Amino acid sequence: MRPRTNANRLEKHPHIPARNVLDRIVLGGSDGAMEGLAMTAALNGAGAGFGTITLAGFAFALAGAISMFFSNYLSRRSELRSLKIDMEREKMEIETEPEEEMSEMRELLAKDGYDAREVDVIMQRLAENKDLWLKEMLRRELRVNVEDAGSGSFLWPLSAGIAFLLLALLAVSPYAFQAPRPEALFASVALSLAALFALGSRVFVPRNFDPSAGAESALVGAVAGGVLYLVGLVISGF
């Protein structure tokens, strides 16, 4: 019987592709849905006209998306700079202080459960390949991956910004159809809470589906929307 090759072998439990992009979509989308719901509920409670709510909601969604993009972009750039500094420092230490770095790596491997014989085998392999040694040092000592240094500087923030824009607009959309005020509010709440549940539970990744996390996300959004609606009612009373 011929052994299966890598080309035709399927992983039994495949990992989630583009996990970091998915995380940014959940982050940006959740913020957009929650803040959009809270803002439109407050304006509704204050008795603002639907034209005002729609215009303010669109402006809020656009401004929030831009803010989400740049805050994530700057944060990611800072992370990448720090990672590259760590890489250069560890690389220099491996070149100039190999004995000390080997001793440190041995301690890290032992802490992870490898016995003395296994540590010797691993260290022999790392001593022959300094690139591999650097990767392992960063991963075990600093808990970072070298592969992260070349990814996500633009795509991750863009994913968060677009998700924020779309989900914030979702909360505003019922007001654009000029439905009666109670129906518009109900539709906005229903759409936003459904979106928060979907994002929080990761319903689009069946093997990672967590309804309790989705319910928690929706509950937080409902509380935020309810509080801001009441604030709007109070303001309208003055």
Interval 209-238: pLDDT, tens: 899 999 999 999 899 888 988 888 888 776
Question: Average pLDDT of 179-200?
Answer: 90
CA dihedral of 98, 104, 107, 108, whole degrees rounded to 10: -110
Highest mean pLDDT among 113-122, 184-193, 199-208: 184-193
User: What is the pTM assigned to this prediction?
Assistant: 0.73
| Domain boundaries of the chain, sorted by first residue | 19-233
pLDDT at residue 11, as a whole number = 46
pLDDT at 4 over 70: no
CA dihedral of 24, 25, 28, 33, whole degrees rounded to 10: -160
- List the one residue out of 40, 20, 69, 70 whose CA is nearest residue 168: 40
Which DSSP string do the residues of 141-178 spell out, in sequence order?
II---GGGGGS-SSHHHHHHHHHHHHHHHHHHHHHHTT
pLDDT at 20 over 60: yes
pLDDT at residue 111, as a whole number = 85
Indicate the pLDDT class of residue 170, thresholds 50, 70 and 90: very high
Asked if 165 contacts 69 with a C-beta cutoff of 8 angstroms, the reply is: no
* CA–CA gap between residue 52 and residue 157 (Å, rounded): 29
